[in-house]
Amino acid sequence: MQTISFYNLAYMLLPLAIVVYFYFKYTQDKKEIVYATVRMVLQLLLIGYLLIFIFNTKNIFLGLFILTFMLVIATMIVLRVTTNKSLKNYSLIFFASFISSFIHLFLILEVVLDLESFYEPRYAIPLVGMVFANIMNIISLSIERFEKEISRNESFEEARKISFKACMIPQINTLLAVGLVALPGMMTGQILSGVDPLIAVRYQILIMIMSISSGGLAVIIYYNFLEKFKLYSKK
């Protein structure tokens, strides 16, 4: 696989600098993209070294700690978009995400991949990250739209219908476009690393189904929690 030097990688900052300039020009915010980029680089460098350690130790308790930490952070990020930042709402988001991710990871690791050990960090950690990130994005879109509809005096059922449809648009668009408009990240990465394209396709199908179903199921569970506990109000 072709290696990338940090010197060559720095050239990618040139188009980003243009975006930063116009982002500041249009929004008067000169820190957000720069902060997000610097944080992304530092986080990925840190996780790169951490993954080497995790893959070598294969300690299940360390793995559980890391997975729990990832879910806690993902839930905190989701909470940014909601007006209800209570501990109860945080708990609903957390457990909706946990239930959906556990179901999907069990199916993937135990049934689909049929690994010798359920906890194989080389598979579990990246897949969990994909599931959590996907759930985080879909629930965020759903909550943001749901609260807007509730504030317009829509009924719970109508707000749920509109927000659920809205949050699934990016996922459905991705399913329609994959293979025709773009080759997805995992498939591209595997092909670049020398994996047979037909094997890469199977993994990508797994990821695409997981993406739409894990996020969708998490939202469904969250809506049921929300309705049960009446944790929504019209303004």
Report the Cα 206 to chain-centroid distance in Å. Answer: 15
Query: So what's the pLDDT on residue 104?
Result: 93
**End-to-end distance of the chain based on CA atoms, in angstroms?**
56
Q: Which DSSP symbol is given to 110?
A: I
Query: So what's the pLDDT on residue 162?
Result: 96
Cβ count within 10 A of residue 191: 16
- CB neighbour burial string for 69-92, b if at least 16 within 10 angstroms, e if fewer: ebbeebbebbbeebeeeeeebbeb
Does the pLDDT at position 235 exceed 90? no
Residue 12: C-alpha distances to residues 9, 25, 29, 31 (Å): 6, 21, 21, 18
| Structure tokens belonging to residue 129 | 């990250």
pLDDT in tens, 109-155: 888 888 877 788 888 888 888 899 999 999 999 999 999 999 999 99
pLDDT in tens, 219-233: 999 999 999 888 776
Those residues whose C-beta lies under 8 Å from the C-beta of residue 208, and which sit 6 or more positions away, are 174, 175, 178, 184
Q: Give the pTM.
A: 0.79
Residue 2 binned pLDDT confidence (cut-offs 50, 70, 90): low
Q: What burial class does residue 125 get, using C-beta atoms within 10 Å of its C-beta: 0-12 exposed, 13-18 middle, 19+ buried?
A: buried
Query: So what's the pLDDT on residue 194?
Result: 75
Distance in angstroms (rounded) separating the CA atoms of residues 179 and 200:
12
